[in-house]
Amino acid sequence: MSNLLTRRRTRFVLWCPSAPANPPELVIGQIQNGNPPTFNQLAQRPLQKALDAGTPIDGLWELDPTSLGLADGRTYHYWFEVDDTSPGGSGRIQVTDPLASTVDYRLFAPANRSLSFPASVIGFSGGKLVTRDPNGEQGNPTVAPFTRLTANSQTVIYELPTAWSSSTGSDGFERAVGTFRDVRALTEPGVLDLNFSELGVTKLDPPYLVQLGVNALEMLPPADSIYSRQWGYGTSHYFAPDYELGYPEGFLSPTADSDLVDLINSLHSRGIRVLLDVVLGFMKEEPYRYIDFDDFYLEDPPTHAGDPDAASSRFDRDGNKELRNPFGASCPRYVKTRTTYDPITGVVKQISPARQHMLTFLTRWMQDFMIDGIRMDSVENVANWDFVEEFKSTGHDLFAARYPGEAADDSYIVVGEELQLPLALLSQHRLDSLWNEQFQTFIRAALAGQNAANEQSFERTVRRAIDCKMDHLNGTQAVNYLTSHDVEGFRKERLYTQMASDVLLTPSEALFDRGQIEAEVLASIKAEGRDPGSDEVRDRASELILHKGRLRRIRLGFVCLLTAVGIPMILAGEEFGDDHDLFDRHGRVTHHGGKQVDPVNYSRFDEPDRNELFIYVAKLIRLRTSHPSLAADEVFFFHTDFEDGKRVVVWRRGPASDPVVVVANFSDYTTPNALSPGAEYVVPHWPDTPSGEHWFEMTQDRHIRTGQHDRESIFAWEAKVYHLAPGDNF
């Protein structure tokens, strides 16, 4: 436990490593309901220097709450009044507590209403300060049974933006916040008070994520940001869950803390781990920018590499380190040190204030929200690999303390986003894993029937995607994805959007029965009470054929993702082929929005073809999380065929005694007369079939007759996935 967090249970505390000219003061009161709500101030008192055996503790200020006449069981709103140390700042301002476990944007600091300093919220009970939501709600976090948490090697991550949308008809959509309660409805039936109660995905039983089968959830940063909820990359109050995510439409007050606790309890009860997406390289309006700027922050933006905190971990073309990019926020200092109170150990020593503040934040989330791993954004902008390692190791230590006597390291992971893949971050044990951007690059090219850039062969493109060991990564060191939340740029847009460019009508015609599709289109139009012309039927049938062709390639992409070496990650919506609402087909932002806003449109899940894709992906996830060969690092390519326009690659995952075999066709080629009894495509060197077992093709739920498993017809842009099953001669 952090010493500072322990102290905060019995007193108001403000850690300020610099020596302020004037003592900080506490401004405290209660919210008065109204339209708008107002603040009823009860007291304004100076904090005193904290004492240790009668000796002042350098940098630490405190105030005993029992001296304020607070009523037991009540909830209070407060700020700290300090000297403004930000660049250009002057005078006294009232700021949010840097340790605030809950914030309330309904009230802003009364002395500086023009600035966005929301109220800090705290409860008072039994002489102690307790975490509460503004109306007094409290969460009750529980420790998940260790046996319910999957090992890293069997993990499938679901990356969830909290910007959602739903269709309104006529190609329109409404966008809003997918709150903690909305997310909980994806894991638990019967959850009420949702922003998206009309969505089918929030009403399912079994719940949506349980049906999908993922076993780890990574919401885009859930800590509070002053930004209106977009992606969330601009944290302001690290110790508090995001205000908007805890404030469903129609609520009179926010419930972010208790809602997040309830969500995590629900996830854990269903065996779903929780990974915290955290931004450590830049902060937006974080309180220490005003309380003690020089100890915590660089100038905005950094202008010279001579400052040891100014350089990122990236190099420019001339071999010089690039300057850190605050992205409109402020970059923290992780090199500069000062002798002051240490919020972790409680002793006065030389420390990096910014580092220790972030380690205290991590402690809060590990112990109060029971998170099971970290995704560290923009590692190159953190820029200090010693701190990256310290943050990783602290998380592992806190997780091990939660589960004494267990092999805890196998079920906790710290993943870094550094797209240039500096392998020293792994070999030096700074991180456990890295986002493997190369997987997206390779598979996106393969799904277009092309070699990846700088690759001389199609075969090597596929091999490097499926086997990250070719790039010196083992299975849990690489997090693979078809799409991430960074959906801007060439072949980074949603996969369906890319397929809109890459899938052509002529080759797609051969995959589907146009006559049947035109009949379906005609019936659909007549059901609308119209009598369509032949051109409309033909055009709509052509679009439907293209649509089905796009989803077919997406299926192939998911086979690659879920049978490759590495930890698979799925961007929410890709499992049903979501498309862009605020981006065009090339991934460009439209006039309706800007960066970090394209939402997940869960209403598309209800479309029949997209729902079939969801079911297909769920089957693959069940295999990925249950078959031991897909948790191993072993992969063996034993057949390729690039003759006569074919692009067929066959690989085996795991040992030959119990393998998963994938036959993947990245081309328009289909076996002639593929459905006739004598048609076949022979795959040589197939693993032996043990006595008493046969092969099962899991994407179509088919038992394969012994002797036919290695000579089934292949179809354009399709993969078959085989594993052994008990029983002879099917």
- pLDDT for 583 equals 80
pLDDT at 534 over 90: no
Type and span of the H or E element at 95: strand 92-95
Examine residue 428 and state whether it is found in any structural domain, yes or no: yes
Sequence letter at residue 421: L
730 confidence band (pLDDT: 50, 70, 90): low
Percentage with pLDDT > 70 across the chain = 96
In the structure encoding, which two tokens stand for residue 510, read together?
A: 């051969």
- pLDDT for 595 equals 60
How far apart (Å, rounded) are the C-alpha atoms in residues 337 and 334?
8
Domain C-terminal end among 593, 625, 657: 625
- pLDDT for 49 equals 96
**Cα within 13 Å of Cα(374), Cβ side:** 30
Average pLDDT over every residue of 430-455:
95
How far apart (Å, rounded) are the C-alpha atoms in residues 342 and 352?
9
Question: How buried is residue 271: exposed, middle or buried, by Cβ count under 10 Å (0-12/13-18/19+)?
Answer: middle
SS3 at position 152: helix
- pLDDT for 592 equals 61
Q: What is the DSSP string of 661-673?
A: EEEEE-SS---TT
- Whether residue 562 contacts residue 568, with contact meaning beta carbons closer than 8 Å, is answered with yes
Examine residue 588 and state whether it is found in any structural domain, yes or no: yes
- pLDDT for 35 equals 85
pLDDT at 190 over 90: yes
- pLDDT for 596 equals 64
Domain C-terminal end among 82, 103, 130: 130
Pairing mode, strands 223-224 and 216-219? unpaired
Claim to verify: residue 208 and residue 91 sit in the same structural domain: no
In the structure encoding, which two tokens stand for residue 134, read together?
A: 């503004």
- pLDDT for 301 equals 65
Check which CATH number belongs to the domain holding 254 and give it: 3.20.20.80
Q: How many domains does the chain have?
A: 2
Examine residue 602 and state whether it is found in any structural domain, yes or no: yes
pLDDT at 171 over 70: no
What HEC string does 357-400 produce?
A: HHHHHHHHHHHHCCCCEEEEECHHHHCCHHHHHHHHHHHHHHHH
- Whether residue 282 contacts residue 330, with contact meaning beta carbons closer than 8 Å, is answered with yes
Claim to verify: residue 469 and residue 573 sit in the same structural domain: yes
Claim to verify: residue 561 and residue 445 sit in the same structural domain: yes
Domain C-terminal end among 580, 608, 625: 625
Examine residue 728 and state whether it is found in any structural domain, yes or no: no
- Whether residue 694 contacts residue 666, with contact meaning beta carbons closer than 8 Å, is answered with no
**Closest Cα to residue 157, out of 443, 439, 567?**
567
pLDDT at 303 over 80: no
Claim to verify: residue 99 and residue 195 sit in the same structural domain: no
Lowest mean pLDDT among 26-35, 212-221, 579-588, 668-677: 579-588
Claim to verify: residue 471 and residue 408 sit in the same structural domain: yes
Claim to verify: residue 114 and residue 166 sit in the same structural domain: no
pLDDT at 717 over 90: yes
Examine residue 126 and state whether it is found in any structural domain, yes or no: yes
Examine residue 659 and state whether it is found in any structural domain, yes or no: no
Residues 6 or more apart in contact with residue 515 via CB below 8 angstroms: none
Claim to verify: residue 443 and residue 574 sit in the same structural domain: yes
Residues 6 or more apart in contact with residue 368 via CB below 8 angstroms: 101, 131, 141, 261
Residue, of 213 and 176, whose pLDDT is higher: 213
Q: What residue numbers bound the domain in which 606 lies? A: 149-277+371-500+552-625
- pLDDT for 509 equals 87
- pLDDT for 36 equals 87
Q: Which is it for the CA torsion 232, 236, 238, 239, positive or negative?
A: negative
- pLDDT for 591 equals 58
pLDDT at 588 over 80: no
pLDDT at 90 over 80: no
Claim to verify: residue 98 and residue 201 sit in the same structural domain: no
SS3 at position 63: strand
How far apart (Å, rounded) are the C-alpha atoms in residues 468 and 479?
10
In the structure encoding, which two tokens stand for residue 509, read together?
A: 């015609």
Q: Enter the DSSP assignment of 458.
A: H
- pLDDT for 524 equals 87
Check which CATH number belongs to the domain holding 111 and give it: 2.60.40.10
Claim to verify: residue 163 and residue 122 sit in the same structural domain: no
Examine residue 423 and state whether it is found in any structural domain, yes or no: yes
pLDDT at 114 over 60: no
- Whether residue 314 contacts residue 380, with contact meaning beta carbons closer than 8 Å, is answered with yes
pLDDT digits (tens, 9 = 90+) for 331-360: 999 999 999 999 999 999 999 999 999 999
Question: How buried is residue 198: exposed, middle or buried, by Cβ count under 10 Å (0-12/13-18/19+)?
Answer: exposed
Claim to verify: residue 108 and residue 228 sit in the same structural domain: no
pLDDT digits (tens, 9 = 90+) for 654-706: 999 999 999 999 999 999 999 998 899 999 999 999 999 999 999 999 999 98
Claim to verify: residue 109 and residue 157 sit in the same structural domain: no
- pLDDT for 19 equals 85
**Cα within 13 Å of Cα(132), Cβ side:** 19
Q: Residue 170 phi/psi, 5° resolution?
A: 55, 35
- Whether residue 447 contacts residue 553, with contact meaning beta carbons closer than 8 Å, is answered with yes
Which bin fits 341, alpha (ψ -120 to 50), beta or left (φ > 0)? Answer: beta
Examine residue 349 and state whether it is found in any structural domain, yes or no: no
Residues 6 or more apart in contact with residue 26 via CB below 8 angstroms: 12, 43, 44, 45, 46, 47, 63, 68, 78, 79, 80, 81
Claim to verify: residue 267 and residue 402 sit in the same structural domain: yes
In the structure encoding, which two tokens stand for residue 235, read together?
A: 């944290």
pLDDT digits (tens, 9 = 90+) for 42-53: 999 999 999 988
Mean pLDDT estimate for the chain: 93
Identify the residue whose tokens are 């949308």: 165
441 confidence band (pLDDT: 50, 70, 90): very high
What HEC string does 244-268 produce?
A: HHHCCCCCCCCCHHHHHHHHHHHHH
Sequence letter at residue 28: I
- Whether residue 583 contacts residue 598, with contact meaning beta carbons closer than 8 Å, is answered with yes
Q: How far is CA 418 from CA 247, 280, 312, 315, 426, in A?
A: 33, 13, 11, 13, 12
Residues 6 or more apart in contact with residue 298 via CB below 8 angstroms: 307, 309, 310, 324, 326, 330, 331, 332, 333
